[in-house]
Structure 1
Amino acid sequence: MSNAQLPFDVFLAHNSQDKPLVRAIANELKRRGLKPWLDEEQIPPGRSFQDEIQQAIPLSKSAAIFLGLQGLGNWQSWELKALISQCVKKNIPVIPVLLPDVRNLPEHMLFLEQFRWVSFSDQIDDENALYLLEWGITGQKPETIVKVIPQKIIEIQSDDLSSECGVNYTQLRDLLKAGEWKEADEETLAILLRVAGREEERWLREENIENFACTDLRTIDTLWVKYSKKHFGFSVQKRIWQSVGGKPGVFDEEIWFSFGERVGWRTTRHHQIFFVTWTSREWYYYSQINFNPDAPEGHLPRMWDEWRGGIEICSIVSKLVKCNIF
């Protein structure tokens, strides 16, 4: 099979934790008329990753190795070994790609210095990086750099990612911008737990929320509110909490129940056995949460698998008031 007959323009090797960013780049490549090989689009359920990857590499005209802040994943490490071996045999171009906030190649991968790499600097909308990536894939300079809407670039660059705790909010910003609501929810919890030193426990005490920096809470909330178009966010939840009669720092079970129904975390079920009928109120598990834009207002962030009585949301509302976050 000649190079022109190969079905894929580029094989995308990446850590699964970077998939939202790689997916966004893959979509941009498609918009430019290229056909990338992305595992989630090409590997059917029940198939071996290794077998499918081994078959896919020779079907690609080039290979892009994405390097994110999380380093190489298990599958990417395997992909890399297979890639280098097969690329040498079949003369397949290898393009190292540095994702946002990765400035240099990792020390154990300095052998990739022999290839010119592409860096996405601080954002996945980096037009120069996309231009270079397309050039590396096709081997031909694009006639012009495909322009995105300038206002979109301005919005990304103007995001305030301030932190008093040394947290990098680029990943959260990019997930929210890409509409990856579940991943953004998980990233939000990961940040809160990391700052509080509660990563093993996986839940927060009331004092952890009370001591959380106002600057960081404002950054998280602003990103959620902005990219959900004011549909999600802590401040949205605060407004709903207050609308059902809730007060900052004061937990009331009935208020908590009403709040849960308003944001779609709780449902009322009607039961009947023979002539006996009754009603029950049930909380949704985390697996039942709706991670889509059509979810009820204030549905996200949810973060925890199970809520232990609403103390968290009550504490967050209190902290928002003290930080003057509206």
Structure 2
Amino acid sequence: MIFHRLPASLAQFDVLLAHNSQDKPQVRAIANELKQRGLKLWLDEEQILRPGSSFQQEILQAIPLVKTAAIFIGVKRLGRWQVLELESLVQECVENNIHIIPVLLPDVSMIPENLRFLRRYRFVSFLQQVSDVEALNLLEWGITGRRPERKLEPNQVIQTNVIKTDDLSSDKAVDYTRLRNLLIAGEWKEADAETLAVMLKAFGREAEAYLDYRSINNFPCTDLRTIDQLWVKYSNGRFGFSVQKRIWESVGGNPYAILYETFEHFGDRVGWRVEKDWIDNEGVNFSTSAPEGHLPYSILEVHFQMEICFFSRAKTCKV
């Protein structure tokens, strides 16, 4: 069944909210937030009014009327037949050039194996609560294609007035101003990439594009502390090398006893390992809904022995 899609300018709804009925309360809460932002939603309980209507048929018929489909995944997951119906819905969306956004509800950290056909799309995660403003901003951006203006909280406004007090010291004459500004703005993905860039610059390895054992073992402590303090400060203590080191030590991390099992426990804690599978770049959660220690990621993704080397250096530098 292929429908004739209306031009985006004529579509009646910004987004269709597809979900398991057992997740209705959480989806309804997110829907209310999106309505307050001026978005027009297709939600089954509001659009399917006639008794005896087929939910699946009504949803398929709504496809030509929407610009985007948000597919919600909750802890109840989906039954076998629901998975087949959802796969059919996704196929219809693809054929009608409709933007697809998987949305992970609280306590769901990764798209499950039986929905792996959704893993090609970047997801939005409400890992902790449905009122997560960062996740709502990302979802609005995905629906509209326009990134919402980020409103600073009162404590962040104060921070922007005192950023001159930030210690941006470097033994290698590296300028950390851009990293600080990205962190202040909550641009976590860009800040993660900038962290790798400044660390490569600090050791003169821009051409290689990665840090090796020698560079990590000799990385300047002043620069390591500067980077860490910026991440910790502007993430309100959620992210940073010192946060990762603390978690590493809490699961038994020891530079003198290298156990892969320990690194697996660390990966589980910081969200780099989900259901026994290590995430890749596409699986990184660049929002404050990510687990503690989830970021920075790019520096430490190479190999588990490299991470152990890095944590050893962080301890030496008193990070």
Q: Normalising to structure 1: TM-score of the pair?
A: 0.48
Higher-Rg structure is 1
Report which structure shows greater RCO (CA 8 Å, sep ≥6): 2
The TM-score, its normalising length taken from structure 2, stands at 0.49
